[in-house]
Structure 1
Amino acid sequence: MEMDSGEKRLNELGYKQELRREMSLFKTFAITFSTMAFFSGTPLYGPSLLYAGPASLIWGYVVVTFFTWFVGFAMAEICSSFPTTGSLYFWAAHLAGPRWGPFASWCCAWLETIGVVSGIGTQAYAGAQALQMIILLSTGTNKGGGYFAPRNVFVSIYICLTITWAVLNSFALQVVAFLDVISVWWQVMGGFIVIIGLPLIASPTQSASYVFTHFETSPESTGIHSKPYTVILSVLLSQYCLYGYDSAAHLTEETKGADRTGPLAILSSIGITSAFGWAYLLALTFSIQDPAYLYDPNNETAGAFVPAQILYDAFYRRYHSGTGAIIFLCIIWGAFFFCGLSTLTSAARVVYALSRDGGIPFSRIWIKIHPKHKVPTNAVWLCAAITIIIGLPILKLNVVYTAIISISTIGWVGGYAVPIFSRLVMDEKKFKPVFLLPTLYPLRWDTFNYAPVAVSAALTLIMLWWVLDARRWFKGPVRNIDVQNGHI
């Protein structure tokens, strides 16, 4: 039986095949597409619109999409040459050369791990918030005495979602792949329903002039008077929506012909997500009935979730009922669910790969593979436990979601930068084919963006660990196969 091209390349890179290689291109694409999830930025729509108005939001997405393609092409090229589960940090180690490889790999590995694990938390929060709105509108709205889940219930939903994803990821990868195939159709069909249906239902709709040219800051709400600063903040949504395509790279050891299918999954996910994502933002913005009312704490959604209010206003004005808004919110909630499930899949592979190379404390525990399902179950539950821990401050602070998103974006996108930079400075002959600033002013304990503190503290400890200890033993990816002698 002829060896799979991806497995052959994996052996050449020094790793034996341990995970089950049975994923097709479409299934890998399904998981990658679900991780990106063009509905995923929904919770950030309200703050982004408030900072600088619709024009900055809409055109900011276009600009970010443009530059995302450059990153995507670079990552696809590198993935074709290094189809390993370790992906980003493995690439960095080989591309930076023997002198700087271990340090580049160390930095990239931890940025990647921080980014992808905190990414699970962003989806758990978004899923909890969407479900909170569904319950509120289903029980009578904020004006009609509906049930608005308090913090402890909100956190309970957050934890339940995380545990559910961990349970599903404990089975064979084909289970997650099957669910994410459903996710593709859920998001594509649901996306068409929302994108086409919402503007048709909304009456009247906003003018093209408002959507594409209206720029308006809200210093009385945000405390921010600098216009350039508000534009930067409004683009946060776009940056958050357009990453996660490296999930295809994390699955390459479980994908057939991964040296070809990995890059294809990366580029196709970027293309479809960017197109649907922009159309979704346009649908929401054109359907706004009263911009000022969206943020009123006394409105039907308690001013807590702007897209839900847009949906409710559109349906209620046309049909005098909010049922349609609830249905649309269920579609969006489903996208959050599938996105969180896929993000945990990706995160577990990153932790497994780094543990295989001895880069995480107690690596022997996290490297274990389930004997039947051939998935890194211990790594799955480690990621779930960390996700739950970083979500507990929600009980006291309103800014936790912004902090988690910031940490995820910094880590994930920062992880992209290391191997790409290494690729740019590498000798061509050797190659084989963030956001940290406060978001609300004045600064108080409940408005401060804790991402700078969290990320700085984590990176300081990681760098200190490198200087004092890890540089002596961490040499980057560790071969566990002797190709020349054929020993495994």
Structure 2
Amino acid sequence: MDSGEKRLNELGYKQELRREMTLFKSLAITFSTVTMFAGIPLYGPSLLYAGPASLVWGWVVVSFFTWFIGIAMAEICSSFPTTGSLYFWAAHLAGPTWGPLASWCCAWLETIGLIAGIGTMAYSSSQVLQIIILLCTGTNKGGGYLASPGVFLGMYVFFTMIWAILNTFALQVIAFIDMISIIWQLIGGSVLIVLLPLVALSTQPASFVFGHFELASESTGISSKPYAIILSVLFSHFSLLGYDTAAHITEETKGADKNGPISILASIFIVSLYGWMYVLVLTFSIQNFDYLYDVNNETGGAYVPAQILYDAFHGRYHNSIGAIIFLVVIWGSFFFGGLSSTTSAARVVYALSRDDGFPFSSIWRKIHPKHKVPANAVWLCATICIIMGLPIIKVNVVFTAIISICTIGWVGSYGVPIFARLVMAEKNFKAGPFYLGKASKPVCFVAFLWICYTCSVFLLPNLYPIEWKNFNYAPVALAVCLTVIMLWWILDARKWFKGPVRNIGSDQNGKV
């Protein structure tokens, strides 16, 4: 028997999903969820807050602490290779007394974060496609077409539905597409990293990239240097997110107790390295810093990375073809990321429904009879994502809010099992092939503190003075969601939700 399936049986679950994913396929799906260019929409605002130095070095700092989270999660994943992943880990690590509450909180944070993650990819895909169309039709200066809010929303919905349709087929289809994704991003990203500085007519000096710090108080309303630095690093926080996808597909991965941790750590390594190189290349290739944000420039001041690409290629070749090609590469990474995010979100909804923790669980835990995928859960996630994006038609800060909700929910769900692992007695932990030994507690402690910090900074206002048009409504949305979830727990769910439910070797109540 496969080692992952054997461990799954020990935990009380029978093998229902097809276990046919190799290490490379698992890594491909995980890497596609993280995506090399995930945080690029935040590059412009982050650069504006405090200049290039805080952005460049902020990536290094965030990458360093992300490794603590990844290593802590890899150890737990090796011990608990289940589709329920984070909330399943929380239930077992927190023990019989606190397990149900820990599992409940983790499951809902994870669900909120993952579904919002689909929204971030749909928005980012639409945003890049909007700029591609603008450059193809003549640029902002030349009368090019810039999509209206209604058309933009239509793109958002279209991408979400395409990902849902593709996820309705067998996971092997997604795995094949994501193998294309990892090749697409690595080759495309590598070419961009090498080519962009060579094409640019001039490059910024190293002193500017690594040492220039400048507040943009007139644009952001922020005059505090520490506050500006914190906001400039949000780009890195969001970029290094999603590596838990490997855990969500462990029941479909061969040797998941070994390959799950490898996929988690390998995806962090690739994105940490390539992402930083991409940040450096973009920043070195800036031609005119102030012109990047001019609403009358070729991209309408709407997408700073696109303007950097345009300035470089148009300056050298007097056309925008090169910029468009590389924007297609970036768009592809978002498309693949949305596809994988949908895969991951649906698995969490399915696993939670399998344990009767989701409203109308009997519907969402159904498996497609032919393709063996949770098709109903896929379409539920897509529907919620579309509803979340409807304010695009009227409000300009939707993307900021969705990113904040995504990051807080997603990273917050990491914190629950890691904290439980930190406080549990070592003798109660059944180690898998990847085991930290005495280093486990210090690693989990640093990881948990960093998670708390990350969740806090995404609740902060992004611009001053605070007005309706720039209001970060993520704290309000999260407060409403979490209040409903906790009231549901106190008034009802605590009476029947006991955490993961065994489907083999169960007692008469079917509980673990």
Q: TM-score range by the shorter chain?
A: over 0.9
Rounded to whole Å, the distance in 1 between the matches of 2:273 and 2:231 is 22
Structure 1 match to 2:243: 245
Give the corresponding residue for 1:418: 416
2:22 is matched with 24
Partner of residue 482 from structure 2, selected from 456, 459, 462 = 459
Query: In structure 2, what is the equivalent of residue 147 of structure 1?
Result: 145
- The aligned counterpart of 2:493 is 470
Structure 1 residue 170, shift from structure 2 partner: 0.3
Which residue of the partner structure matches residue 44 of structure 1?
42
Task: Tell me how far apart the structure 1 counterparts of residues 144 and 471 of structure 2 sit (CA, whole Å).
Answer: 31
Report the alpha carbon displacement of residue 484 of structure 1 after superposing the two structures with TM.
Answer: 9.6
Q: Report deviation, 1:203.
A: 1.5
Contact 1:169 1:341 in 2 (8 A): yes
3-state DSSP of counterpart to 1:18: coil
Structure 1 distance, partners of 2:281, 2:290, is: 18
In structure 2, what residue type is equivalent to 1:233? L
Displacement of 1:217 in angstroms is 1.1
Q: Deviations over 1:321-377 (max 9, x none)?
A: 111100010010000000000000000000000111111100000000000000000
Deviations 1:198-228 (A, max 9, x none): 1111120001000001111111111111111
Counterpart amino acid of 2:268?
I
Aligned positions, number:
484
Residues in 1 aligned to 2:407 and 2:462: alpha-carbon distance in whole angstroms: 15
Q: Distance in 2 between matches of 1:226 and 1:451?
A: 22
> CA separation in 1, counterparts of 2:138 and 2:482?
46
Query: For 1:223-234, what aligned pairs fall within 5 Å after superposition?
Result: 223-234=221-232
Tell me what 1:92 maps to.
Answer: 90
Q: CA deviation at 1:136?
A: 0.2
Equivalent position of 2:190 in the other structure: 192
2:449 is aligned to: none
CA contact (8 A) 1:11 1:483 kept: no
| 1:377-398 CA-partner distances (Å, limit 9, x unpaired) | 0000000001100011011111
List per-residue Cα deviations over 1:54-74 (Å, max 9, x = no partner): 001010010000000011000
Matched, 1:291 2:289: yes
Cα deviation 1:272-326 (Å, max 9, x = unaligned): 1110000000010000000100000000000000000000001111111111100
Pair 1:448-2:471 in alignment = yes
Deviation per CA, 1:409-441: give whole Å up to 9, x if none: 000000001100100111101111121111111
Aligned to 1:363: 361
| Letter matched to residue 44 of structure 1 | L
Alpha-carbon distance in structure 2 between the residues aligned to 1:396 and 1:484: 53
How far is 1:84 from its partner? 0.4
Amino acid at match of 1:108: C
Alignment of 1:389-428 (within 5 A): 389-428=387-426
* Counterpart Cα distance in 2 of 1:53 and 1:37: 24
Could you tell me how far apart the structure 1 residues matched to 2:222 and 2:390 are? Answer: 28
1:132-166 per-residue CA deviation (whole Å, 9 max, x = no partner) reads 00000000000000000110000100100000000
Conserved? CA contact 1:52–1:217, under 8 Å:
yes
Query: Which structure 1 residue ranges, 5 or more long, are not aligned?
Result: none
Show CA shifts across 1:67-115 (max 9, x none). Answer: 0001100000000000000100100000011111111111111111100
Tell me the secondary structure at the aligned position of residue 83 of structure 2: coil
Q: Which amino acid aligns with 1:478?
A: V
Q: Decide which of 158, 170, 173 is 1:172's aligned counterpart.
A: 170
Q: 2:260 aligns with which of 259, 262, 273?
A: 262
**C-alpha distance in 1, partners of 2:381/2:195?**
38
The residue type equivalent to 1:414 in the other structure is G
1:375-394 alignment to 2 at 5 Å? 375-394=373-392
Between the aligned partners of 1:256 and 1:123, the Cα distance in structure 2 is 28
* Residue equivalent to 1:12: 10
Please point out which of 165, 180, 183 is paired with 1:182: 180
SS where residue 368 of structure 1 aligns?
coil
The separation in 1 between residues aligned to 2:497 and 2:99, in whole angstroms, is 10
Letter in 1 for 2:384: I
Match of 1:315 in 2: 313
Displacement of 1:447 in angstroms is 0.5
Q: Secondary structure at the match of 2:51?
A: helix
- Contact between 1:136 and 1:147, CA under 8 Å: does it hold in 2? yes
Amino acid at match of 1:204: S
Deviation track 1:7-36 (CA, whole Å, cap 9, x = no partner) reads 111111011111111101100000000000
Could you tell me how far apart the structure 1 residues matched to 2:113 and 2:507 are?
Answer: 36
| Equivalent in 439, 442, 462 of residue 439 of structure 1 | 462
The letter of the residue matching 1:229 is Y
Q: Which amino acid aligns with 2:355?
A: D
* Alignment partner of 1:301 out of 294, 299, 302: 299
SS in 2 for 1:96: helix
State the one-letter code of the partner of 2:37. F
Structure 2 residue 257 is matched with structure 1 residue 273 = no
Contact in 2 for aligned 1:12/1:483 (Cα 8 Å): no
Preserved contact between residue 397 and residue 446 of structure 1 (Cα < 8 Å): yes
If the length of structure 1 is used for normalisation, what is the TM-score?
A: 0.98
Q: Which amino acid aligns with 1:476?
A: G
- Using a 3 Å threshold, how does the CA distance of structure 1 residues 466 and 484 change in structure 2: closer, same or farther? closer
Cα separation, 2, equivalents of 1:394 and 1:199: 35
| Counterpart position of 1:203 | 201
**How many percent of aligned residue pairs carry the same amino acid?**
72
Mind listing any 5+ residue stretches in structure 2 that lack a counterpart?
A: 432-454
Which runs of at least 4 in structure 1 moved beyond 2 Å after TM superposition? none
Q: Report the secondary structure of 2:215's partner residue.
A: coil
Deviation, 1:483, is: 6.9
How far does residue 243 in structure 1 lie from its aligned partner after superposition? 1.1
- The one-letter amino acid of 1:468's match is L
> 2-side partners of 1:13 and 1:22: how far apart?
20
